[in-house]
Chain A
Amino acid sequence: AQSVTQLDSQVPVFEEAPVELRCNYSSSVSVYLFWYVQYPNQGLQLLLKYLSGSTLVKGINGFEAEFNKSQTSFHLRKPSVHISDTAEYFCAVSDRGGKLIFGQGTELSVKP
């Protein structure tokens, strides 16, 4: 069975500061990894994904994530956050069959 653990439920950060949202997964098979963002009262939007190839993945809005197989991690980073990045961020794993298993989410709060 697969599972995802997002290590921080809330991350407060000041505008223009760097941020890292941590995600660890467990799986007995090869996986695809995803980060989704959810703005208040909206659906989930894909930020970035790792399917294969380069372990450093770049996504929308200046976010990037690095797949680390040995540490079973897929942490999300941004070098300088904006107020508009305030949202809930979800890490997810798929067994390549398409079914996504989500972490509990990390609430990113960017303060001026």
Chain B
Amino acid sequence: DARVTQTPRHKVTEMGQEVTMRCQPILGHNTVFWYRQTMMQGLELLAYFRNRAPLDDSGMPKDRFSAEMPDATLATLKIQPSEPRDSAVYFCASGLEGTTIYFGEGSWLTVV
């Protein structure tokens, strides 16, 4: 089965460290999303790309977060420097424009 692959699955890091999360979308999908899930805020859209171009990153704290798609098979989400309030599950999802999107298993981040 085709699936969205995320790495790392789990990450514990110290405050101030850089964190990079990676996502391999399903082959052929032209839209990639980054969501963050916390108990307090639920599922929040951080950013999304279509054909590798950023369409909307209004949900992302600009001072410390950055998202890129170096190529069609890789999306990255970087936090620098990380803070305890960034502790969450980060989901990558991919889809074709206007149709169902499919989620990865998530990257579980803990910043201590």
B-binding residues in A (CB < 8 A): 32, 34, 36, 42-46, 49, 51, 90, 96-105
From DSSP, what is the main secondary structure of chain B's interface residues?
Answer: strand
Give the complex CA separation of A102 and B33 in angstroms. Answer: 13
B98–A96 touching, CB < 8 Å: yes
Give the complex CA separation of A44 and B101 in angstroms. Answer: 10
A-binding residues in B (CB < 8 A): 31, 33, 42-43, 45, 48, 50, 55-56, 91, 93, 95-106
B103–A102 touching, CB < 8 Å: no
B105 — which chain A residues lie within 8 A by C-beta?
42-43
B43–A98 touching, CB < 8 Å: no
6 intermolecular pairs with C-beta atoms under 8 Å apart: A34-B100, A36-B103, A98-B33, A98-B95, A98-B96, A102-B42
Q: A43-B105, A100-B45 are in contact. List 4 more A-B contacts (CB 8 A).
A: A43-B91, A98-B33, A98-B98, A101-B45
Nearest CB on A from B39, distance (A): 10
Nearest CB on B from A54, distance (A): 17
B50 — which chain A residues lie within 8 A by C-beta?
98
Nearest A residue (CB) for B96: A98
A98–B103 touching, CB < 8 Å: no
